[in-house]
Structure 1
C-alpha cells in the first residue's frame, strides 16, 4: 500500500454526484438486469476495494462481479470519480444505535467517535489512499456530523471550536490508522511479523545499547515496546484531557 493518496474525493461531476447522493436526479431507465440498482453497484465496488484494494475498482470489474455489461453501469453512475464519492458516503454511514455514541457526555461521544473511526479505517484500509480534504457532503457525512454535534454541544464552545474538536479527533485517528494498516500491509508483503522484524535487528541493537551512546534508551523498562500498552487509547485520552481543560475554563469564565 502506497503512503501517498491515489484518489481524490470530489474529482467527478460534483452536481451529478450530489444528485445521486441525495436522489434528486432522474432515475435511470431499467437496464438489462432487472435487479441492478445504484445501491448494488456501490456495495459491489466497496467489496472489491475491501478485498483487492482501490486500484482494483473499475467499471469493467464491477460489471463482471454483477454479471452484467459494463455499459449498463453508466445508466446509473457516470464514472469512477462519482462512484468513489458514493463509496465514501456508503462506508461512512453513522450507526443508528445511540449507544455507539458513548454514554451521553461529550467526552465519551468524542472517544466513541475516535474508536469508531479507527475501526472504519481498519475495515476499509483503502480509505487511507483517498484525499478527502474536500469531501462531497452527502447524507452520511451530514447525518454523522449532526449526531456528533448534538452530543458535544454542551461543551459550551463556539461553533468553529466544536467542528475543530471533531476534526482534531479525525486527524489523530488517520495517523494512528495509517500506522496500524501499513504495519499489517508490511507483514503481508514481507512475510515477517512485526515481532520477527524487530527480533532480526536485536543482535545489533543489543550491542549498540552497551556502548553508552544511548543511556536513556538502554535504561527503558523491558516492557516499553511490548504489545500490552495501548498507544492509540493513550493518545486519544490525552486529546480529550486537553479539551476538558478548555471546557472547564470556558464554563468558569461564563
Structure 2
C-alpha cells in the first residue's frame, strides 16, 4: 500500500557546542506541521497513530476479502493482534486447513493445480452486458450468447400468410373501384399486380380520355356488369372511389 503526502519542507541543522557537544535542530515549514511529529508529545504520537490505523484498515479489508468474512470480525479472529498456531488458526477462521510447506509445493506442482478456467457470465442483450459490467464482472469472463436458430419454416409460413392477405385486400380494393365500361382496366390491374391507388389513377385517366368525370364514374358504379368480386359487407363502390382518391390527392 502506498503512502502519499508529506508535502512540505523540513531542514535539520546540527550545531556543535563545546559544552553540549552536537545538538540537532529540526525546522519544518509552517504549512506542514505533521511532517515531523514530535514523539515526545501526546499530539505527535496521535499523528503517527493515524497513519498506523489507516494502514491497519487496508490490511484488515484484504484479510476479510480473502477469507470471505466481514472486516469487523477480523481483529477478534486474530486475537486482536495476537497469534494463532496450527489447529487454533483453522478454528478461528484464519486458515482453511492444516498442511506443510512440502505438501503445498507438491500440490502446486501437480497437474490438478493448473489454473482453473474462470466461470463465464453469459449475456444475451446489450442491457445484460451493461448490467454485468456495472456489477464489476471481469470483462474477460463475459460471453455473448449464441444466436438462437431461426425457424425458417415458421417465417416462410407467416410471410406467405401476410402476402396472401395483402393480395386479397388488393384485389378486393380494385374490385371496389369497378365501374361500367372499365372491365378491361380492372382485369389488367389485377393481372399486373397494380395497387389500388395506381388502379384508381389509371381508371381516372381512362375516364378523362373518354370524357367521363369522377362524378360520372361514381354514378355508373352501381350499374357495373363486369367481373364481380366476392360479396362484401363493406362500403359501396362510390365510397371506395372517394376514399381512394383522397389517399392519392385526387
TM class by shorter chain equals under 0.3
- Relative contact order, higher structure (CA 8 A, sep 6+): 1
TM-score scaled by length of structure 2: 0.20
- Larger radius of gyration, structure 1 or 2? 2
- The structure richer in helix per residue is 1
Task: Select the structure that is richer in strand.
Answer: 2
